[in-house]
Amino acid sequence: MTEHLHKFADLYRKPGPWCVVYVDAGAGGAQGAEAAEARRGDVRAALARQGAAAADLEAMETAVEPARGLPAPISRFVLVRQGTAELNELLPGPLVAPPHISVGPVPDLLPLLKHRPEEFPYVVAEVTREDAEIRLEYVGRPGSGTVADVEGSSEDISKLPGGEGWAQDKQQRRTEETWRRNADEVAGQIDRIVDSSGARLIALAGDVRARGLVQDQLAEAHKPLVSMIDSEPRPEDSHQQMFEDKVQELIALQWAAEQAQVLDRLALQEGQANPESATGVGAVVTALQQAQVEVLILNDSALADRQLLALGAEPWVATAEEQTLGAEVLGQVPLPAAMLRAGALTDASLLLVPDGVLPGGVDVAALLRWPVGPEAPGGTTV
């Protein structure tokens, strides 16, 4: 799934130095409480060895306190500058990358993005023919969403069990109309939530007939987002877990489909005379300098040992001094961090990929907003 980086642009514009910490945040049980408490001192000492200012050390030691009262495993990502914690995120689950403790000229958000790939909003609607519970949730942030209850009409909600004649037909028509009105109210509420949140999946569960009516009355733009869950959630732990597992499976399928779309677009550009893509470090840096990158596709682990120049103004990133266009050089930083920053400051999105996904053995590529120009005599691109 692609991550929209623009929301971090304001952070990236602030001057450093930055202290970055990504560590386990568990409070530990009776045996591990002492080690959890010692973690704060270890973080402080590691930052001090890298030259962190005293005010930053104090702020970070306070920020990385153990997450008492929260279920383990749990992790923490913190950014500190000028004695203030600019970002302090508790992240459900264990570390997904090695612990990270650094001081640098720009903030390295890669550990955060790898742990929480995207604030993927989705809607789960549990519907009956009378009412519905609609939940807006975010991937990786359980319990962070909102719940909306819709109470429909219960008048004439049930059809008569038998009988014939005009009265029976009239009652059935009334019942059908009540169902439709209730479904229309539920669909309207779902439409409003999707429009305001940008939700990219609607999981419909509950009564089979009610689900169908709700889907029929959703806005046309939202119908492709719908996936049905056949089983109804129940209060028992085992059934509820099965239900949540099905929701997570739908999210994983949507995630994979979106990644496949990006990689298919990249493959279609291969061999084009003026492709809307760039591959390799040099070509992608050039595209970032021109604010040309729509989607940055990065195998960060393969590029972690390479460095780029982070710049204090446009074009934000360079491979060498002669590419800086007069902008202040903030320092050399790991290539993934430099590219993420340049992408955020030029409104790009990010897709992280593992080894072997990108074509031609490259570890970074980009989909572009406009095509690469034709080659001029001598092999340069115009």
Locate the DSSP E strands across 320-377: 329-334, 349-352, 364-368
Q: Is the pLDDT of residue 379 over 70?
A: no
Confidence of residue 150 (pLDDT cuts 50, 70, 90): low
Beta bridge partners of 18: 104
Query: What is the mean predicted confidence (pLDDT) over 78-91?
Result: 95
Q: What is the pLDDT of residues 272-308, one digit of tens each?
A: 888 999 999 999 999 999 999 999 999 999 999 999 9
> What pLDDT score was predicted for residue 37?
79
Reduced to 3 states, what is the DSSP secondary structure of residue 144?
Answer: coil
> What pLDDT score was predicted for residue 175?
63
Order of strands across the sheet that contains 74-81? 84-92, 74-81, 18-24, 100-104
Q: Is the pLDDT of residue 42 over 80?
A: yes
What is the rounded (10 degree) CA torsion for 85, 337, 277, 324?
A: 100
Q: Is the pLDDT of residue 117 over 70?
A: no
Q: Is the pLDDT of residue 178 over 90?
A: no
Q: Is the pLDDT of residue 219 over 60?
A: yes
> What pLDDT score was predicted for residue 224?
93
The helices-and-strands tally (H runs, E runs) of the chain is: 10, 17
> What pLDDT score was predicted for residue 129?
75
User: pTM (2 decimals)?
Assistant: 0.77
